[in-house]
Amino acid sequence: MVGGIQKAALGLTRLSERWVPSAFVIACWLSFAVVAAALALTPVGPALIVKAWGDGLWSLSSFAMQMCLVLMTGAVIADAPSVRRALDAAAALPKTDRGAVTFSALTAMVFCWFHWGLGAVASAFLARRIALRRPTVDYRLLTATAYFGMGAVWHAGLSGSAPLLMATPKNFLADQVGGTIPTSETVFAPLNLGLTLAVIVALTALAWFAYPERAEDALVLSDEARARLEEAPPPALAAGESGAWLRLWEGSRAVPLAFGALGAAYLVGDIAAGTFSLTLEKLNLAFLALAVALHESPAAFGRAAEKASGLVHGIILQFPLYAGMFGIIKASGLDTILADVFIQAAGPRTFPLVVYWYSGILNYFIPSGGSKWAIEAPYLLKAAQALGVPPAKVVLAYSWGDMVTDAIQPFWCIPLLAVARLEFKEILGYMTLVFLISASLASAFFLLG
């Protein structure tokens, strides 16, 4: 059975690599498709559609900036020397190869639940350190487990794009839902916590039982390959780079600590005043302050931030395109037409399950959880209102559906594969099992919950 799944997974990978273009190209195609749909299905003329597109381009600017900060602050924290030392020490905890991949799976999911930007980078670093410490570990399965968090739990956690957006005051969907949807109804809802726990337990068990029984079935790195995994230490600030006074501040430990203390003081005051709520703004404030405080100096923080900035180009370029689609959908009345389609296709009981699978299929071709919500939300929330389904449940169904196909889509795995020096097809057999387990559990939860 496993062999058949792996063959199917390899076929899916070849299909994806051959026929699925880049995420930016897909966003362009979708823009044209939305324009065509608005022209064909609504009475709005071309001039108004073009104006709605142009006016909408920048409606997600704040959201895009927040998503950039989620990814960047997580990456900068993972790159801090103290965090790397902690991860290196953690890599020494497992005493067996099977235990090492199980530990990698569990930590990847926990990291990504707390912060997907941190989890995506820290999980890759931890897996690499485990590989260097345990030369006989199955490197293929180890690399796959480092992707379990991004492939199974991230959008259900504390930094999930859709739940945090809906909890943020004055978000672009606030008028449609009558304000905000607090995280107590999404991230911390019993259904979400129960499903998250079930997935984490099941996938941790998968890592344990999937480990090859025979040593010859494991992919073991050569000494040369392991040597390539070693990282050179970051360069120190050269003495001649600036004047003595500037070097004093650029190399000062006091500046990062003071900045971190400022952020902590704000959060403590907010909690003491009873005004704290988990939103994108509060999350980014906390992680930005922590990211700065964990680095030895402003210069070291700047180097880490410069390296992390290469990860956000997709967000910067794609979000305006999805915002333009959002503008057309709202201004043309396409949201009402699409909502009617969903109302006809599902009843109150099955609607969350339909949303889950619809979002999962769409995510395979548009792997962008935050910006894609701008396309789906207007008509999904309108259909939910007509069917009497709580909007918080729609947000959860979207979030789980959005990430389920991440397990079998190579887009978010590219940074991990660059670190691991593997191809996606080499781990897709395991990730297909992750997809099947996660999809089965989530389908049951949304149908019965």
Tell me what pLDDT residue 240 has: 47
**Banded model confidence at residue 242, pLDDT cuts 50, 70, 90:** very low
> What is the reported pTM?
0.80
Average confidence score pLDDT of the chain: 84
Tell me what pLDDT residue 8 has: 54
The arithmetic mean of pLDDT across residues 385-401, rounded, is 94
Task: Give the HSE-up count for residue 5: Cα atoms under 13 Å, Cβ half-sphere.
Answer: 14
Above 50 in pLDDT, residue 237?
no
**Residues whose CB falls within 8 Å of the CB of residue 309, separated by 6 or more in sequence, listed in order:** 72
For 168, phi then psi, to 5°, come to -90, 125
Fill in the amino acid letter for 194: G
Fill in the amino acid letter for 331: A
- pLDDT tens-digit series, residues 369-388: 777 888 888 899 999 999 99
**Banded model confidence at residue 130, pLDDT cuts 50, 70, 90:** very high
Above 50 in pLDDT, residue 46?
yes
The arithmetic mean of pLDDT across residues 172-177, rounded, is 82
**Banded model confidence at residue 270, pLDDT cuts 50, 70, 90:** very high
The arithmetic mean of pLDDT across residues 296-311, rounded, is 86
- Residue 400: which of 107, 104, 22, 113 has the closest Cα? 113
Which pair of structure tokens corresponds to residue 108? 């990847």
Tell me what pLDDT residue 170 has: 82
Above 80 in pLDDT, residue 90?
yes
Which pair of structure tokens corresponds to residue 25? 């190209």
**Banded model confidence at residue 367, pLDDT cuts 50, 70, 90:** low
Q: What percent of the chain has pLDDT over 70?
A: 84
Greatest pairwise CA separation for the chain in angstroms: 71
Above 80 in pLDDT, residue 219?
no
**Banded model confidence at residue 114, pLDDT cuts 50, 70, 90:** very high
Token pair 């063959």 is found at: 7
**Residues whose CB falls within 8 Å of the CB of residue 5, separated by 6 or more in sequence, listed in order:** 429, 432, 433, 436
SS3 180: coil
Q: How far is it, in rounded angstroms, from Cα 400 to Cα 187? A: 11
**Banded model confidence at residue 430, pLDDT cuts 50, 70, 90:** confident
Which pair of structure tokens corresponds to residue 435? 């997809």
CA distances from residue 393 to 192, 348, 361, 380 in whole angstroms, order as listed: 9, 11, 19, 11
